[in-house]
Amino acid sequence: MDHHDLSDDERELARLVRDFADEVVAPASYEADRTKTLPMHVVAQMGELGLFGLPFPEEYGGQGGDYFALCLAIEGIARVDQSIAITLEAGVSLGAMPVFRFGTEEQKQEYLPSLLAGEHLAGFGLTEPEAGSDAGATRTTARLEGGEWVVNGAKQFITNSGTPITRFVTVTAVTGEKDGRKEISTILVPNGTPGFTVEAPYDKVGWHASDTHPLTFVDARVPEANLLGERGRGFANFLHILDEGRIAIAALSTGAAEGCLEASVDYARKRTVFGEPLSTRQSIQFMLARMQQRVHVARLAWHHAARLRDAGKPFKTEAAIAKLTASDAAMDNARDATQIFGGNGFMNEYPVARHYRDSKILEIGEGTSEVQLLVIARALGVA
């Protein structure tokens, strides 16, 4: 279906990304998934296309676009490969965006150009073994000592934290106490800092080619100037970043849901059962129609949230609704697509099988579905 509300530039970007996804991303996907490795040549080409710089001003090497443009690109890539789409999503909204939003001019000049060019990646370390949905339960600490932050603690499930081009991870850490409450700040910890260990990658159900590690910090020392944003504002700043990230995850989910739909329509036309194409069965037609319905509604939901965000209007609830709607759409479409493909749908050589494994995390990462429901319930004044 047509993206009815796109400008000419946006249409052009969507077309460019679609071609890139089909010609460069998709051919590498099966092997990357099988070997659980991030294909660095694909990351490099995304960098050359300017995708990592989409929503940033040109003065830092960005493309001068908006968040909507970034989400369009993420959607277009997720259609064929969620691992590559999340690498872009996390690279921009979790890696570069906190520096752009909260960094000093010096930090921006230092870190943004290479992140926006896709030459470096950065991670965002919020989740800990004892602090996930309840992110304020952070136990990692950072104390100031002789002009340095000394970081101790552990983070888990951190995307893009251990790629060959990862430059640093931004972590939340308790830096003190204020009015009886934890003071949480964010600190940039460069990879290679003594005492900072990127542990072995996880053995995940899906998103195999995406880079995810546990991190440990034992007296990891970084300069005092590595504080990102105001001391004590770390938690609030992270929540803002997550609100925005949810729109991008909704776009990613929409792309996944669409990839499943496209593959299913194609398969149902070609596959013969009982002497006729599978697509002649009304039960299959209705399944495909439902899949289309989900893609459409998911897309409208993220478009709406992204337009609000870019217009500088409140978007927290809309982002939560978009993420909830679109992640359900991806999961439902992946399940239906696998069913339509029959036994082939359970074979990894078919991309729908990969979407089936990959989609579950969409209902968990950057705020679980229950957390989105809490956000929506709060806006209703009942939670």
Q: Output the CA torsion sign for 136, 131, 187, 323.
A: negative
For residue 167, the minimal CB distance to ligand FAD (Å) is: 15
* Residue 339 touches ligand FAD, criterion: CB under 6 A: no
Neighbouring C-alpha atoms within 13 Å toward the C-beta of 356: 20
Tokens, residue 145: 């000592």
One-letter identity of residue 20: F
Binding mask 191-210 for ligand FAD (x = CB under 6 A): -------------x--x---
Q: How far is the CB of 17 from ligand FAD (least distance, A)?
A: 22
Report the distance separating Cα 199 and Cα 155, nearest Å.
10
List, in sequence order, every residue forming a beta bridge with 183; answer none if it has no partner: 176
Q: Please give the single-letter amino acid code of residue 284.
A: I
- Tell me how far apart the alpha carbons of residues 100 and 247 are, in angstroms, rounded to a whole number: 18
127 binds ligand FAD (CB under 6 A): yes
Selected binder of ligand FAD within 76, 125, 162, 214 (CB under 6 A): 125
- Choosing from 128, 244, 258, 366, which is the catalytic residue? 366
- Cα 68 to Cα 65: distance, rounded to the nearest angstrom: 8
Contact window for ligand FAD (CB under 6 A) among 56-64, 74-82, 123-131, 298-306: 123-131
C-alpha–C-alpha distance, residues 353 and 341, integer Å: 9
Closer CB to ligand FAD, 53 or 125, in the complex: 125
C-alpha closest to that of 128 among 158, 155, 152: 155
> What's the gap between Cα 376 and its chain centre?
21
Q: Determine, following the binding rule CB under 6 A, whether residue 159 of this chain makes contact with ligand FAD.
A: yes
Q: How many residues bind ligand FAD (CB under 6 A)?
A: 23
Stretch that binds ligand FAD, among 28-36, 154-162, 186-194, 226-234 (CB under 6 A): 154-162
| Two tokens, residue 183 | 């003071």
Question: Binding to ligand FAD by residue 280, rule CB under 6 A?
Answer: no
Residue of 157, 315, 341, 350 that binds ligand FAD (CB under 6 A)? 157
130 catalytic residue (yes or no):
no
**Interface residues toward ligand FAD, by CB under 6 A:** 90, 94, 123-127, 132-133, 157-159, 204, 207, 212, 361, 364-368, 370-371
